[in-house]
């Protein structure tokens, strides 16, 4: 991993103290043989201490790459940080030396991955793996670290933790492994917990267990939560704020109550419309036409324009910014929320409302 990224000069001012994480205009590109993939292309958001944020998007939208960039876990090259700053707990972390970053990672900032089996080391016991990072970060003796591991397992509801710490990952079920991952992440009392699709690989009833567990832990500890998922249902239940990503960009952001109930970006509208519900039985689902754009050949202006039911000529000519689109700080990347698009907005919203509630066409 190449460690040095030339720091932009000068860095911006640090955010106010209540902001734990402030991501500013982050651009992570991948340089590959066929060209350059703008995986994350100008993403900005912030997260208050103790609060939660969800990042939603389909595969390839850039949500996982954003998190990995934040953790400084990407290989550079092929990844390339084109621009941006990330302020975490009062310090800029995107350009700090890797030794400094290692002190933060796993300590103040911890991550839960999607695949618990591949993220745990098969040749060490669960206790060894948790104790190792406690020892390193908290500078405590082995015995104290080991006790800490048992405590963390207890915190995530694993029965008889003093025996479980001596087990290897293969001796545990999928749900138990995910609990171990969470215990490991929590063992150093992080200020920020990043969960990347934490329940996607799990069965429905186990997913329910893990989601309830994450909620309880968030209530009991002061850590902030960043939840990355493609499941709008999981987001609706778990977080305060949400950002919706499409083709490397944020297309909508706001509180979950606003974004998932009154979506203002056509992409979010389309996602919600396409969810099968009982009301739509007997009719066809409303589907977003086409597929996500080829990352080597993004649409020149609005990236959603080729699939958008409300697009007009402006959308193919000028790229939209994130415009204010509702109360409580809701923003949408769509020309409908500019003076030029205003006359078209009521019709688009009415159309969304109609598609949301009934299936259309006779089946």
Partner 1 sequence: MESSTTPVRPDGPPPATPEVVVEGGADVTEMDPLEIARVGAGKTLLQVRGLKKHFPIVGGLLRRQIGTVYAVDGVDFDVNSGETFALVGESGCGKTTLGRSVLRLIEPTAGQITFAGRDISHISADELRPLRRKMQIIFQDPFGSLNPRMPVSDLIGEGLLAQGMKDRKARDKKVEDSLELVGLRREYTRRYPHEFSGGQRQRIGIARALALGPDIVVCDEPVSALDVSIQSQVLNLLLDLRRDLNLTYIFISHNLSVVQYFSDRVGVMYLGRIAELGSVEQLYKDPRHPYTVALLSAIPDPNPRKRKKRLVLKGDVPSPAAPPAGCRFHTRCWLREKLGNPERCVTEEPQLRNFGGGHQTACHFAEEISADTVSSAVETQSVLETAVADPV
Q: Helix count (H) and strand count (E) of the chain?
A: 13, 14
How near is the Cβ of 350 to partner 1 at its closest, in Å? 19
353 binds partner 1 (CB under 8 A): no
Strand partners for 41:
27
The interface region with partner 1, picked from 65-73, 94-102, 153-161, 321-329 by CB under 8 A, is: 153-161
Measured from the CB atom, is 84 or 263 closer to partner 1? 263
Alpha carbons 229 and 232: distance in angstroms, whole number: 8
Tell me, by CB under 8 A, how many residues bind partner 1.
Answer: 57
Alpha carbons 68 and 1: distance in angstroms, whole number: 13
How near is the Cβ of 73 to partner 1 at its closest, in Å? 24
How near is the Cβ of 15 to partner 1 at its closest, in Å? 26
280 binds partner 1 (CB under 8 A): yes
- Cα 89 to Cα 17, 22, 86, 93, 227, distances in angstroms: 8, 9, 10, 9, 18
338 binds partner 1 (CB under 8 A): no
Residue partners of 169: CB distance under 8 A and separation at least 6: 116, 117, 120, 121, 122, 126, 177, 180
Task: Report residue 57 as tokens.
Answer: 């998007």
207 binds partner 1 (CB under 8 A): yes
> Which member of 9, 59, 297, 313 binds partner 1 (CB under 8 A)?
59
Alpha carbons 140 and 165: distance in angstroms, whole number: 18
The SS3 assignment for 12 reads: coil
H or E stretch covering 347: helix 345-357
95 binds partner 1 (CB under 8 A): no
The distance of Cα 107 from the centroid of its chain, to the nearest Å, equals 19
> Which member of 97, 159, 339, 343 binds partner 1 (CB under 8 A)?
159
> Which member of 112, 181, 192, 234 binds partner 1 (CB under 8 A)?
234
The interface region with partner 1, picked from 286-294, 313-321, 326-334, 339-347 by CB under 8 A, is: 286-294
Measured from the CB atom, is 7 or 287 closer to partner 1? 287
> Which member of 209, 221, 318, 338 binds partner 1 (CB under 8 A)?
209
Alpha carbons 233 and 235: distance in angstroms, whole number: 5
363 binds partner 1 (CB under 8 A): yes
Torsion of CA 351, 354, 356, 359, to 10 degrees: -120
How near is the Cβ of 72 to partner 1 at its closest, in Å? 28
The interface region with partner 1, picked from 42-50, 104-112, 280-288, 328-336 by CB under 8 A, is: 280-288
Nearest to 104 by CA among 96, 114, 112, 115: 96
231 binds partner 1 (CB under 8 A): yes
**Per-residue binding letters, 160-179, with partner 1 (x by CB under 8 A):** x--xx--x-----xxxx--x
Torsion of CA 113, 114, 115, 120, to 10 degrees: 10
Contacts with partner 1, residue ranges (CB under 8 A): 58-59, 156-160, 163-164, 167, 173-176, 179, 203-209, 211-213, 215-216, 230-237, 256-257, 260-261, 270-272, 274-278, 280-281, 284-288, 291-292, 363
């Amino acid at each position: 991993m190449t460690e040095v990224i030339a720091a932009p000069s000068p860095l911006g001012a640090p955010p106010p103290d209540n902001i734990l994480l402030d991501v500013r205009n982050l651009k992570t590109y991948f340089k590959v043989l066929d060209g350059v993939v703008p995986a994350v292309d100008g993403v900005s958001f912030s997260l208050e201490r103790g609060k939660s944020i969800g990042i939603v998007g389909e595969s390839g939208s850039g949500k996982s790459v954003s998190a990995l960039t934040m953790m400084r876990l990407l290989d550079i090259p092929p990844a390339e940080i084109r621009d941006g700053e990330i302020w975490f707990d009062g310090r800029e972390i995107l350009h700090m030396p890797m030794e400094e970053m290692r002190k933060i990672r796993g300590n103040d900032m911890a991550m839960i991955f999607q695949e618990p089996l591949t993220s745990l080391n098969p040749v060490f016991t669960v206790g060894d793996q948790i104790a190792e990072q406690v020892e390193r970060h908290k500078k405590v003796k082995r015995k104290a670290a080991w006790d800490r591991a048992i405590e963390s397992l207890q915190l995530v509801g694993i029965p008889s933790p003093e025996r479980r710490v001596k087990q290897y990952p293969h001796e545990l079920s999928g749900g138990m492994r995910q609990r171990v991952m969470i215990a490991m992440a929590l063992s150093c009392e992080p200020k920020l917990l990043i969960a990347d699709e934490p329940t996607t690989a799990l069965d429905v009833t186990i997913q329910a267990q893990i989601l309830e567990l994450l909620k309880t832990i968030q209530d009991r500890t002061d850590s902030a939560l960043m939840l990355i998922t493609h499941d709008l249902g999981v987001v609706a239940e778990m977080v305060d704020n949400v950002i919706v990503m499409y083709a490397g960009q944020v297309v909508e952001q706001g509180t979950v109550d606003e974004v998932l109930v009154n979506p203002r970006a056509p992409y979010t509208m389309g996602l919600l419309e396409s969810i099968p519900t009982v009301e739509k039985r007997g009719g066809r689902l409303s589907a977003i036409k086409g597929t996500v754009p080829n990352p080597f050949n993004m649409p020149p202006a609005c990236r959603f324009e080729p699939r958008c039911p409300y697009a007009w000529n402006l959308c193919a000519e000028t790229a939209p910014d994130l415009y204010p689109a509702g109360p409580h700080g809701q923003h949408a990347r769509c020309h409908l929320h500019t003076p030029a698009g205003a006359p078209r907005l009521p019709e688009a919203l009415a159309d969304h409302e109609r598609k949301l509630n009934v299936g259309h066409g006779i089946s």
